[in-house]
Structure 1
Amino acid sequence: MKFQGRSTRKRTGGRRRHARNKRRHELGDEPTETEVGEQKLKFVDARGGTEKIRAIVTDVASVATDDGTVAAEIENVVENPANPNYVRRNIITKGAVVATSEGEARVTSRPGQDGQVNAEVLE
């Protein structure tokens, strides 16, 4: 099991072997691929006694408009710079452009980390 970032070779060209396995807090999680649909949340324990809320499925976004913030219905994903396949699969990540009842909006929050979709209307 390799540690991320560390080279497996020393400066001399010799092999560097890891001294121990990863601890639980050093393990990574599978990415939460938030889909469009009826809202479904998952609570996950994080370090320091805190909790993360993962949005597994969601259809509501808090959209910032010129008049203020409005709760809008998410219809589908229009564009996603993280992965072009996410558009076909309707997966929402930060930076994704979604079609809402208020018009197209760009997601500014991380739904897989904080369980909600915040977005701003595109002009």
Structure 2
Amino acid sequence: MKLGAYYKGGDLKKPSGGKKRKVRKTKKKALGGGPPQIPKLGENDTRIVERVRGGNLKVRLREAKFANVYIPKERKSVKAKIISIISTPANPDFARRNFIVKGSVIQTEVGKALVTSRPGQDGVINAVLIE
């Protein structure tokens, strides 16, 4: 006996023959946030403040020009201009499209740095000098 593909979804009719209705309307918490908006390398720092669940506010980064780079040898942080994105382990295409995410290796005025913050969630780019 050969088993083929078959529909496993619920029927649209009740056993009595009546139509099934929606159980409830779609609640706001069940809606998705839309497509991800990943921060890019840009001409200036652009942030948006968004209201999230629970009435809290989340600062999201849209464009970035500067990063806070921590220099381990000197034990200090400096604000450095981002020159380019070298690589992104999460998705190689992100580096080509100038997207900045956690784990990205960026070229700054100070040198190469590894991004340690989540720019789309935190609203800031923090990085550690690796060179």
Q: Using the alignment, how far apart are the partners of 1:42 and 1:78 within structure 2?
A: 26
After TM superposition, the score normalised by the length of structure 2 is 0.75
- Given that residues 31 and 112 in structure 1 are in contact (C-alpha distance below 8 angstroms), is that contact kept between their aligned partners in structure 2? no
Contact 1:34 1:57 in 2 (8 A): yes
1:28 aligns with 2:32: yes
- Residues 48-95 of structure 1: CA distance to partner in whole angstroms, max 9, x if unpaired? 111111111011111111221111111110000111111111110011
**Structure 2 counterpart of 1:81, one-letter code:** P
Q: Which has the larger radius of gyration?
A: 2
103-112 vs 27-36, which deviates more? 27-36
Structure 2, unaligned stretches of length 5 or more? 1-5, 11-21
Question: Identity rate of aligned residues, in percent?
Answer: 37
1:71 is aligned to 79
Is the 1:80–1:97 contact (alpha carbons within 8 Å) kept by the matching residues of 2? yes
- TM-score using structure 1 length: 0.80
Out of 96, 99, 110, which is 2:104 matched to?
A: 96
Residues 7-44 of structure 1, C-alpha deviations (whole Å, 9 max, x = no match) = xxxxxx98355965653223332212111111111111
Q: How far apart in 2 are the matches of 1:32 and 1:62?
A: 21
Give the length in aligned residue pairs.
111
Residue 117 of structure 2 is aligned to residue 109 of structure 1: yes
Which runs of 5 or more residues in structure 1 are unaligned? 1-12
Q: Which amino acid aligns with 1:96?
A: S
Q: CA RMSD in A?
A: 2.0
Partner in structure 1 of residue 53 of structure 2: 47
